[in-house]
């Protein structure tokens, strides 16, 4: 019987053939921490009495949630990670001098690669599956175990094969594809399973779309999301200083899947996830008919804060103004993206349109800072979660959408179809 990509990645790391359902221990290529979750890992690591990291070059800390610090508590939280990074002379420590949202920054740096096993104390670590890697979120104590040993244990997940067919229409992106998957199977439809994204549509998706696709695999309960390496992946990696040699794996024709999901992308409208679950997806035509007026629009996050998102938003916003009663916040995912946006004149377009252009941060996405919603406010966001109270007051509402819908809706002051 054949193997899936995920089974092959684990087999290569363990040194023998493994199958779904097995519990294994294997080495980890990259362990990722951030300013919120790493302090707990650091405490557990230091309590163990172990003096050195098992694999310092395979450990990164990215300061991205509350950086620059929003208050004394977040400053002290960040200090724990900084002190640890300096004490251990961490090679891959990213603070304000080279900041970015972890799931955009590490691929940009060439630190996560095809064939890797990657863990992070952040649920959206599954983003890196877009590169043909196994990537998953784990708890802070799991992170500390990997810091101590260089590995961790896993239950090899069963796989769901998602087959996308057809060429995406105008303003249909990876965000719409994953929102449609979650709409169909629910927030627990892929619990502890692999979502393997396949089909002829994949060739039409750039890496930004693929990162969005895998980023939200966790919103269906998946252990990981993954896309096989192709020429688009290789082109993305070509100009980066790669930390390791990429290893490409492909599922066998006779690999076992517990479910196969077919989605005709050609007939898909932009998908809007209504409050208060990512699975509450509706076609944009429904949102237009509902005449949903907006207090805020947010474009950014590890889901949709890449240069392609900013270019799309700028194209729509160019020469226009944000609606009088609507706020627009745009957050690039990394400093490199920010510089590129400035170089291309995108930032000038955003500011002239009435938007706020911020530093890279996770702040608004998780209701931390830089875009908190007040009582009863409604927001369209390119983020990944719209739970009750996710971005602020518990009575506020979040509608998840792609960057084109978000930009067009900011101008209209209500949700509109950008097509």
- Report the CATH number of the 273-412 domain: 3.30.499.10
Out of 94-98, 155-159, 270-274, least confident range: 94-98
pTM for the model stands at 0.94
Read off the pLDDT of residues 190-234 as tens digits, 9 standing for 90 and up. Answer: 999 999 999 999 999 999 999 999 999 999 999 999 999 999 999
Range list for CATH 3.30.499.10 in the chain: 5-263, 273-412
Give the strands of the sheet with 92-94, arranged side by side. 92-94, 59-62, 30-34, 117-120, 134-137
- SS3 label, residue 281: strand
Question: How many C-beta atoms surround the C-beta of residue 186 within 10 A?
Answer: 16
Q: What CA–CA distances, in Å, run from 19 to 50, 57, 126, 262? A: 33, 29, 20, 24
Read off the pLDDT of residues 383-400 as tens digits, 9 standing for 90 and up. Answer: 999 999 999 999 999 999
* 174 contacts 93 by C-beta, under 8 angstroms: no
Handedness of CA 337, 120, 280, 366 (dihedral sign): negative
- SS3 label, residue 319: coil
pLDDT computed for residue 401 by the predictor: 98
Q: Which residue(s) pair with 193 in the sheet?
A: 158
- Is the CATH code 3.30.499.10 the one for domain 5-263? yes
């Amino acid at each position: 019987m054949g193997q899936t990509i995920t089974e092959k990645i684990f087999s290569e790391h363990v040194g023998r053939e493994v199958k779904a359902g097995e519990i294994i221990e294997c080495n980890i290529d990259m362990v990722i921490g951030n300013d919120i979750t790493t302090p707990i890992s650091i405490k557990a690591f230091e309590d163990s009495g172990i003096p050195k990291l098992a694999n310092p070059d395979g450990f990164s800390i990215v300061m991205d949630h509350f950086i620059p610090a929003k208050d004394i508590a977040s400053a002290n939280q960040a200090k724990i990670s900084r002190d640890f990074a300096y004490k251990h002379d961490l090679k891959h420590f990213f603070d304000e001098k080279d900041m970015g949202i972890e799931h955009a920054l590490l691929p940009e740096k060439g630190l996560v690669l095809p064939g890797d096993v990657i863990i992070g104390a952040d649920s959206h670590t599954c983003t890196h599956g877009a590169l043909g890697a196994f990537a998953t979120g784990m708890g802070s104590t799991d992170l500390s175990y990997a810091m101590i040993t260089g590995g961790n244990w896993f239950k090899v997940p069963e796989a769901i094969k998602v087959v996308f067919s057809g060429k995406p229409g105008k303003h249909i992106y990876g965000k719409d594809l994953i929102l449609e998957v979650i709409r169909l199977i629910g927030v627990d439809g892929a619990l502890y399973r692999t979502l393997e994204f396949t089909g002829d549509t994949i060739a039409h998706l750039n890496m930004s779309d693929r990162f969005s696709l895998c980023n939200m695999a966790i919103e269906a309960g998946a252990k990981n999301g993954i896309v096989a390496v192709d020429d688009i992946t290789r082109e993305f990696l070509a100009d980066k200083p790669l930390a390791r040699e990429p290893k490409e794996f492909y599922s066998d024709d006779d690999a076992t899947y517990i479910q196969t999901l077919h989605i005709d992308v050609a007939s898909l409208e932009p998908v809007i996830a209504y409050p208060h679950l990512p699975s509450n997806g509706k076609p944009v035509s429904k949102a237009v008919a509902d005449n949903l007026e907006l207090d805020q629009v947010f474009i950014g996050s590890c889901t949709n804060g890449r240069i392609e998102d900013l270019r799309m938003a700028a194209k729509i916003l160019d020469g226009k103004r944000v609606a009088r009663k609507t706020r627009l916040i745009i957050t690039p995912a990394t400093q490199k993206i920010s510089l590129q946006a400035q170089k291309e004149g995108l930032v000038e377009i955003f500011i002239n349109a009435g938007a706020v252009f911020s530093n890279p941060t996770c702040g608004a996405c998780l209701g931390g800072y830089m875009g908190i919603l007040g009582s009863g406010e409604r927001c369209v966001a390119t983020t990944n979660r719209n739970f009750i109270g996710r971005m602020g007051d518990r009575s506020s509402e979040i509608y998840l959408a792609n960057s084109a819908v978000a930009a067009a809706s900011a101008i209209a002051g209500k949700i509109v179809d950008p097509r």
